[in-house]
Amino acid sequence: MAAEILNSRQIKALKEHKYSAEGSSICEPFMQVYWRWLVEQIPKTWAPNTITLVGLIINVVSTLILIFYNYDGTKEAPGWVYLGCAIGLFVYQSLDAIDGKQARRTKSNSPLGELFDHGCDSLSTVFVMLGCCISLKLGKDPMVLLFEMCMSEFCFYMAHWQTYVTGILKFGMVDVTEGQFTVIFIYTLCAISPGFFDNTLPVFGIPLRMIAVLGSLGPSLFFMFKTSNLILKGGVGKNKSTVAGSSTIFPIVPIGLVMALQVIIATKTSIYTDQPCLYLVSFGFVSSKITNSLVVAHMTKSEMPLLDWSLLGPMMLFMNQYFNSKFPEYFLLWIVCIYSVQNWIMYSLRVCQEICDHLNIYCFDIVSAPKTERKNSDSRKIR
């Protein structure tokens, strides 16, 4: 039997964890009216985590259909595919916004819900950004595509990094909701005219896709600057450390390794330009796994591991290129992708299972009454 991921001290801290967030974006007050109405339409027998998972699956599947039609980010997909992505993202946004309301409505709040929500968000961010980029046909500028993906993954990680330091998840005036509506708008334009972003800006002669990229650059850099200042000011722990009492700077190491490997391999070999979507999905799962580890560290007030087994996949690609191996890179990339996906899934399942066992709850069922005693660590409560 594999060793448990969470030890007794972490479980104790998890039981005492309280969700803390502050701030509101521009769109959120208006959307709250819709979200409050929507949650009332959901049966009380639906578990909040089920709502979250359904939204994630819809979003991921709609993006995978787009990738199927535009696997290198240079082609046009049928209009209905873009429309499907727009609808899929809106559905995900709606369900993601009401899972917490459903938990309060059904009195099923638990630390697992917060972890499950952020875990799904970390993966959704990868697919939302990738879908947006290939809709813009950024595959025609591979390094710009890579830059946008790295920027998105790093910004999401930084949001939880500063939460690990300050203990509070902080939202800005322009945040996730506004970003999602922007992507929905891009999908809608592409549904009407798939080649819309191939047009050039009059006088300047700049493709509209690059205008969209430049438009995303300002808010991203501002967010990174603001968040960096919060992190460098120090945390709520002893001697301005993190909530776990650890260094506020060391969390840069895991995500730094992912970003470095992602960029180095892409610039030293043709595998990225040949298979950009497969490459970015592979690294996206690694980035999501690292981020989820950070969320777990925050909620359990424990030190984050600097190295993670998910890095094994990128290291295989790096060593294959470094030693000029004859093993076909295309097949190796598929191996890495499969490994990264299963590593993400197995980690998520094990963490959820352990939390369910220790908190005596079910992950996807709020109707059945949990057993009064936890018989053993093998009891199956994810159902």
259 secondary structure, DSSP code: H
35-72 in b/e form (b: 16+ CB < 10 A) is beebbeebeeebbbbbbbbebbebbbebbebbbeebeb
Cα–Cα distances in angstroms (integers) from residue 170 to residues 25, 112, 239, in the given order: 10, 20, 22
Cβ atoms 309, 316 nearer than 8 A: no
Gap between the Cα atoms of 41 and 209, Å rounded: 39
Q: How far is 155 from 174, CA to CA, in rounded Å? A: 13
Alpha-helix residue ranges (DSSP H) falling in 70-141 = 79-105, 111-135
Location of structure tokens 């039997």: 1
Listed in sequence order, the residues at least 6 apart from 313 whose beta carbon sits closer than 8 Å to its beta carbon are 282, 286, 335, 336, 337, 339, 340, 343
Residue type at 70 in one-letter notation: N
Known catalytic membership, residue 298 = no
Do the beta carbons of residue 356 and residue 365 sit within 8 Å? no
CB-based burial of residue 223 (10 Å sphere; 0-12 exposed, 13-18 middle, 19+ buried)?
middle
CA distance 207 to 105: 48
Bridge partners of 200, per DSSP, are: 207
- Three-class DSSP category at 122: helix
Task: Tell me if 332 sits within 8 A of 275, measured CB to CB.
Answer: no
Question: Considering Cα of 185, then 173, then 301, then 303, what sign does the dihedral take?
Answer: positive
Which residue among the candidates 17, 118, 160, 358 is catalytic per the annotation?
118
Q: Which residues are catalytic?
A: 118
